[in-house]
Amino acid sequence: MPELPEVETMRRGILGVVGATITGIRRPVCKVRPIVISPPLRVFRRRVVGSTITRIDRRGKRLLVWVGETQAIVFEPRMAGLVLLADPPTRAHLRFRADLRDGDVPHLWYWDRRGLGSVRLLTRDEIEQQLGPPRLGPDALTVDAELLRARLGRRGTPIKVALLDQSAVAGIGNLYASEILHEARIDPRVKCHTLVTHHWRRLAESVVRTLQEAIRCEGSTLADGTYRTALNKSGGYQNRHRVYGRAGQICAACGRDRILRIVQAQRSTFFCPTCQAAETSDTRRGRERKTTP
């Protein structure tokens, strides 16, 4: 967290700053773990103060606030960062503030409770070097079955772990990987190279459908309450989670089995052993023959 739906919600939430002029850059006094702000503040100010914000983009889980056409302020929220227009959840964890004029809001804030995120001013060339291929794969909202299979299909890793690789597909994190796989009825432990045509088709449809629905709900605010929208409101998709954080509860889809929690690549995975039952090799081969022209 935040993942693609939360960062896309942030992007949409701060569109009102487009057209505003940056009048100042501040690093609020913060007594907890400092974050990376690059370049040094005096250089940062020299490069952006007096410039106009021209557009807001997203690259995977990062937010780009373009200042003119040749550079952008890149916010990487990591585990607990927020880009806000309204007052932040606490004053103690404010990390960065841009002062604005000629717009609807006076400030753009970056807040980070855990201090794992960063704020960097990058040129267009630096953005392509650091946030383009091969470091970041295609955006998860743009995938189809052929693309997923081409980028993941030869791997011997479990499909859940592979979906978290940002160089393969950008934007999917731990929470939505579990939700996507449940919706696609695919066991998270299944190795990528064992999936066949109909699996990739279901998976691609689930990726786009799940992420779009989460965006419509403005992301997921979990029990710790950390994630907030740009106006400091809770998201709503947590109320639609099918498996994430629901270990031990009866699956709402099948109504028969309980959600299991396992650990994959040091991350929690949640799934329903009935809805996502792994198929046998013979069954997979038989279906592949039927679906292959």
- Which of 3, 8, 76, 218 is catalytic? The answer is 3
Catalytic, 233? Answer: no
- Catalytic status, residue 267: yes
Cβ contact 111:35 at 8 Å: no
Catalytic residue among 47, 61, 160, 246: 61
Question: Do the Cβ atoms of 215 and 9 come closer than 8 Å?
Answer: yes
Q: Which DSSP helix (H) or strand (E) runs through 54?
A: strand 53-59
Cβ–Cβ < 8 Å for 237, 220: yes
CB 73 within 8 A of CB 64: yes
- Which of 26, 114, 189, 267 is catalytic? The answer is 267
Q: Reduce the DSSP state of residue 228 to 3 states and report it.
A: coil
Active site residue 61: yes
Collapsed DSSP state (helix, strand, coil) of residue 151:
helix
Rounded Cα gap, residues 127 and 39, in angstroms: 14
**Residue 115 in tokens:** 């201090």
Per 3-state DSSP, the chain is made up of helix, strand and coil in percentages (nearest 5) of: 30, 25, 45
Largest CA distance in the chain: 66
List residues with catalytic annotation: 2-3, 61, 267
